[in-house]
Amino acid sequence: MSDHDPNLVISGLSGTVTQDGVTVEVNIVRLEDEPDWSLEVVNSSGTSTVWDDQFPTDAAALDAFRQAVAEEGMACFLDSATVIPFPSR
The residue segments making up the domain with residue 20 are 8-81
pTM exceeds 0.75, yes or no: yes
26-83 per-position pLDDT tens digit: 999 999 999 999 999 999 999 999 999 999 999 999 999 999 999 999 988 987 644 4
Q: Tell me if 2 is assigned to some domain.
A: no
* Exposure b/e, 63-83, CB count within 10 A at least 16 = b: ebbeebbeeeebeebbeeeee
Alpha-carbon distance values, 79 to 9, 10, 42, 57, 76 (Å)? 28, 25, 10, 28, 8
63-66: which pairs have CB atoms within 8 A and are 24 or more residues apart?
64/39, 65/17, 65/26, 65/39, 65/41
Predicted confidence at residue 79, as pLDDT, reads 79
Q: Tell me if 60 is assigned to some domain.
A: yes
Residue 86: pLDDT over 90: no
Predicted confidence at residue 87, as pLDDT, reads 60
Structural domain total, the chain: 1
Q: Tell me if 86 is assigned to some domain.
A: no
Q: Tell me if 3 is assigned to some domain.
A: no
Q: Tell me if 74 is assigned to some domain.
A: yes
